[in-house]
Amino acid sequence: MCLGLLNTVLLIAAVVLGINCAKVKEGSLHVSHSAASELISELSFLRSNHSDVIEAKEEAKRALEKAKSEHAKMKEQIEQLTTINDAYQKQIEALHAEKTNLQSNISALGGTCGRCLPGWVLLNSSCYFFSYTESTTVKKNWQDSRADCIRRGSDLVVIDNPEEQKYISDSIENKKSDPLSWNNGFWIGLTDIKAEGTWMWVNNVTEVEQRYWMDGEPNNHGPRGEDCGVVVYSTNNPWKTRFDGGCHNFKIHWICEMPSR
């Protein structure tokens, strides 16, 4: 009877223990399932993020390649612009040089516009060249003197008014190269080669004014005659300054005249 009671107690204890073990196992399985679910969820999140990272990486890579391509194009454009800029710079320098040259030419033209060439002297609208100022020793006959004037784009001076007569006389006052006053004369564009006694200027105008001849002149002195006009400074009378000289054998200085520019 005691054994039966003990068996009953043991059976009841075994049932209770079985029930409790089942509950613990069920709870353990529940916990394991929950943790697994969290791990799976986290893994899915990480996979999703990994895909996003890879996509972002690929996008960044594409952006980098695009930036490199644009940088290469920009570099090429910069090189082209640099070449163009260098060409423009050379053109600008050439234009500056041309500008400087033109300004120099304009200044030179401005300096002679309405004036005379270097070595010439201006009076009113005419320019005068006194050969004495270029050389005190070089002297020529009348024909060679005129040829020199023509070579300079002018002709021997034509004195056709009192102001010019006085100017010429005053200008040669200090241009003396010889003790003899006669040898200090200057050829002018006056001659009677075509007709003795009829004095003509080189511009084909007949000279009718007699007061500018020195006393006793013109006298056509000498075996070959004297057919070319000479002007010399007169200390006595600035209006009586001319005499006739031998065109071929007499060598003195000369005066050229040309219109001012």
CATH number assigned to the domain comprising residue 245: 3.10.100.10
pLDDT of residue 106: 47
pLDDT in tens, 144-200: 999 999 999 999 999 999 999 999 999 999 999 888 888 999 999 999 999 999 999
pLDDT of residue 244: 97
Length of the chain: 261
User: HSE on the CB side for 140, CA within 13 Å?
Assistant: 17
Q: Are residues 9 and 109 in the same domain?
A: yes
Q: Are residues 45 and 167 in the same domain?
A: no
pLDDT of residue 232: 96
Q: Are residues 190 and 108 in the same domain?
A: no
pTM of this prediction? 0.58
pLDDT in tens, 43-66: 777 777 777 778 788 888 888 888
Q: Are residues 83 and 140 in the same domain?
A: no
pLDDT of residue 41: 82
pLDDT class of 112 with cuts at 50, 70, 90 = very low
Q: Are residues 253 and 150 in the same domain?
A: yes
Q: Are residues 153 and 103 in the same domain?
A: no
Of 59, 83, 113, the domain-final residue: 113
Of 113, 141, 161, the domain-final residue: 113
Range of the domain at 215: 121-259
Query: Does position 247 have pLDDT exceeding 70, yes or no?
Result: yes
Q: Are residues 140 and 247 in the same domain?
A: yes
Q: Are residues 96 and 177 in the same domain?
A: no
pLDDT of residue 177: 87
Q: Are residues 126 and 179 in the same domain?
A: yes
Question: What's the total number of domains in the chain?
Answer: 2
pLDDT in tens, 211-235: 999 999 999 988 889 999 999 998 8
Spatial distance between the Cα atoms of 220 and 233, rounded to a whole number of angstroms: 20
